[in-house]
Structure 1
Amino acid sequence: MKKPTILLVEDDELDIISVQRSLKKLKSDYELHTAYNGIEALRILRDPNVGLRPDVILLDINMPRMNGVEFLKVLREDENLKDLKVFVMTTSSEGQDRSEAEKLGISGYIIKPLNYTENTKRSDSMEAFVQFHLRKILLDENT
């Protein structure tokens, strides 16, 4: 059975750590790759030497160089990448961001807690997302 593969496109180191911790609690075998912005993610996805075809992409919206919506637009225009599952995880509660992302065919949208001083709440929210949404995706892909 193929090991589930996740591409995390996130520029915030604390959020990366939070996703890693939450995934470890799944007690499931998976591969996690990280890109710090949309440009780096596209480079990884298009590099034939890397050969990455993730089961799911976890995407932040607010990133430097190429934000999540710009990344989604390019991804959906690429014949080889347009069908990839993308979950947006963002602090942006802007309706326009969500609307644009949904028009670009995302699988889900989670707003990360805005109160960053309480790391436990942030971790709990991330863990709940991973437990309920990501577990289902990863299990469905590999059954």
Structure 2
Amino acid sequence: MNINYGMDNPPSPLTVLLVEDDPGDVLLITEALREHGLGSDVHTVSDGAEAVSFLYRAGEHADAPRPDLVLLDLNLPRMNGHEVLTHIKSDPDLRSIPVIVLTTSSAPDDLTQTYQAHANAYITKPLDSTGFAKVVNRVEDFFGDVAKLPRRR
């Protein structure tokens, strides 16, 4: 999986931050990412506060890479996904990172609130591994081959 940053920058692997507290979903998502070429640089955190620490390279995440893409659950401990999304999209240094909300919620209010907070996409989690694989393949196709992402800082 390569990212096209432009003609003057060589392609590099996609760095993904997965923010997910359900171990079963983490396993399904990371396996699907590996199967579709995104799994070489996936970092997983299990709550919203840890996600913010990762993004700001604080505490134990001082050496964390800047993610090219964030996969964000909404229902998280300590700080929910809406709050994490607000942190990302209100920070000038982070707001250019694409955020895909990947959640079990199909509530219209969650959908509306997520897009109002400038999420790049809202995906209801598939119920099986085949569905996860299809979703990940589409994410990989779009963010890996179609979209041009901003240069890492």
**TM-score band, normalised by the shorter chain?**
0.7 to 0.9
Mapped to 2, the partners of 1:12 and 1:138 lie a distance apart of 26
Unaligned 5+ runs, structure 1: 114-120
Cα offset, 1:51, TM superposition: 4.3
TM superposition outliers: structure 1 runs of 4+ over 6 Å? none
Distance 1:28 1:10, change over 3 A: closer
TM-score w.r.t. structure 1 length?
0.85
Is 1:8–2:14 an aligned residue pair? no
Secondary structure of the 2:128 match is helix
Q: Of residues 74, 81, 89 in structure 2, which corresponds to 1:76? A: 89
Secondary structure of the 1:131 match is helix
Q: Decide whether the 8 Å contact of 1:38 with 1:68 is kept in 2.
A: yes
Cα offset, 1:77, TM superposition: 1.6
Secondary structure of the 1:110 match is strand
2:55 aligns to what?
45
Distance 1:23 1:94, change over 3 A: same
One-letter amino acid matched to 1:34: T
Cα offset, 1:76, TM superposition: 1.4
Distance 1:4 1:91, change over 3 A: same
Aligned residues: 135
Secondary structure of the 1:30 match is helix
1:22 aligns to what?
32
Question: Percent same amino acid at aligned positions?
Answer: 33
2:3 aligns to what?
none
Mapped to 2, the partners of 1:9 and 1:86 lie a distance apart of 11
Mapped to 1, the partners of 2:39 and 2:130 lie a distance apart of 21
Q: Decide whether the 8 Å contact of 2:33 with 2:39 is kept in 1.
A: no
Cα offset, 1:29, TM superposition: 6.3
Unaligned 5+ runs, structure 2: 1-10
1:138 aligns to what?
144
1:117 aligns to what?
none
Mapped to 2, the partners of 1:70 and 1:131 lie a distance apart of 27
Mapped to 1, the partners of 2:41 and 2:112 lie a distance apart of 30
TM-score w.r.t. structure 2 length?
0.80
Q: What do you get for the CA RMSD once the two structures are aligned?
A: 1.8
| 1:54-96 deviation line (CA, Å, top 9, x unaligned) | 1110000011111100111121121211111000110111111
Distance 1:11 1:65, change over 3 A: same
